[in-house]
Amino acid sequence: MPRLSYRRALTRALADEMTRDESVVVLGEDIRVAAANVTTGLLKKFGPERVRDTPLSEQAFTSFATGAALAGARPVVEFQIPSLLFLVFEQIVNHAHKFPLMTGGQCAVPVTYLVPGSGSRTGWAGQHSDHPYALFAHVGVTTVVPATPADAYGLLVSAIRCDDPVVVFAPAGALDLREDVAEPAPVPLGRGVVRRSGDDVTVVAVGHLVHDALAVAEELSGQASVEVFDPRTLYPFDFDGLVDSVRRTGRLVVVDDGNRSCGIAGEIIATVVERVRLAAPPRRVTRPDGAVLPFAPALDRAVQPGRDQLTAAIQLTLKDG
C-alpha cells in the first residue's frame, strides 16, 4: 500500500482539485517555490495564472480571493504562519463570511484558507506559534483540523468543494506523519470519527493531539478503556457523533491546543453536558489562558497540552463520580 505523507496529501488534494475544476486557483506567499513544502510542482503543472505568488499583502490577497470567489473562482489561500490569520480576520469574518447573508443569498464565497504548520513548530516563538482555530469556530466559519494524512487529503478536497469559506489548519505537529493510504478520498465536513474504541471515558482530541491521546490510551490500557474521538471538523462540530460516544462511556475529557478561555474545549464540554448526564465532572487540557508561546523549547512545551496532563485528567475523571 502506498505511503502518503501529510504534506504530500495536501499537495495531492490541491493538484487533484485543480485538475478536476478549472475554477480552483491557489494564492499565497512564496508558493511558486513551495516554501511551505505544500504547493510543490503546482506552478509547473498549472501555470502562474492559477498558481499566483503574492506580495506580502495578506489583507489585499485575502479579499482578492473573496472577489474572485464572487466571480466564480474557488481560491485556496495559503498562509505560511498561523498568526497571519489575525491580520486577515477582518477580511475573512467581516466580508467573506458575511456576504451570503448580507446579500440575501445572491452569492457564495467558496474560499479555502490553508495553514500548513499551525500551532508550535518549536523555536518559532510568540508570533509564529498560535493555533487560533477556536476563533473561526466562534464566528461560524467552517474550521477543520486534520490529524492524519488521509484526512488532510480528504478534508482539503471537501473544503475546496464547499460553497462557503473554510479554514484548514494543518498542525505542525502532524506534518511529518506518514500512513498507508490505498486511495485517498474526500472526507465529509462536519463528521468526526472514533479513532480508538473504549468503554470508560471519551477523550476528544483536536488535530495532532489525536496521536497523543492514542498513545495515552494505549499506556492506560491496563487500567481503563479509553475511547478517542477525533472531531476532524470543529465547526460545524459532530456533536451527534460525540454524544453517542459519551452516552456509552459517561465520562468526557477534551484535549485542545487552544487557549483555555472561550476555547473549543469549553464549547465541546458545554454542549455535551447540555445533552448528557455525565457520571463525573468533565475535564479539559488546554493551553493556559492568554497563552503566548515563549521561545525556549522547554517553555514552549510547558505551555502546550502534554501527555502527562492528559493522563492526569483522565485518571481524575475516572476517579470522580
Partner 1 sequence: MTGPDPVWLYRTVRLIRRFEERAIELVDAGEIVGGIHPYLGQEGIAAGVCAALAADDLVTGTHRGHGHVLAKGADPARMLAELCGRVTGLNRGRGGSMHAADFGVGVLGANAIVGAAGAILTGAVWERRRRGADVVGATFFGDGAVNEGMLLEAFNLAALWQVPVLFVCENNGYATTMPVAGAVAGTVAGRAAAFGMPSTAVDGQDPERVREASAAAVARMRAGGGPELIEAHTYRFDAHHTFEHRVRLDYRPPEEVAEGRSRDPVDIQGARLDPAVRAEVDASVEAVLDAAVDFALAGPHPDPATALDHLYASGLTARTGGG
Q: Which residues of this protein are in contact with partner 1, per CB under 8 A?
A: 25, 49, 54-55, 57, 59-73, 75, 90-91, 94-95, 99-110, 140, 142, 162-164, 190, 236
Beta carbon nearer to partner 1, 53 or 179: 53
- Of 95, 97, 128, 131, catalytic: 128
Q: Shortest approach of partner 1 to residue 114 CB, angstroms?
A: 17
Cβ nearer to partner 1, comparing 190 with 263: 190
Neighbours of 102 (CB within 10 A): 12
How many Å apart are CA 123 and CA 95, to the nearest integer? 34
CA angle centred on 302, ends 283 and 315, rounded to 5°: 30
In the complex, least distance from residue 62 CB atom to partner 1, rounded to whole angstroms = 8
Nearer to partner 1, 158 or 249 (CB): 158
As measured in angstroms, the least distance from the Cβ of 297 to partner 1 is 35
- Of 86 and 215, the one with the shorter C-beta distance to partner 1 is 86
Tell me how far, at minimum, the Cβ of 99 lies from partner 1, in Å. Answer: 7
Tell me whether residue 138 is one of the annotated catalytic residues: no
Nearest-angstrom CA–CA distance, 150 and 220: 27
Active site residues: 128
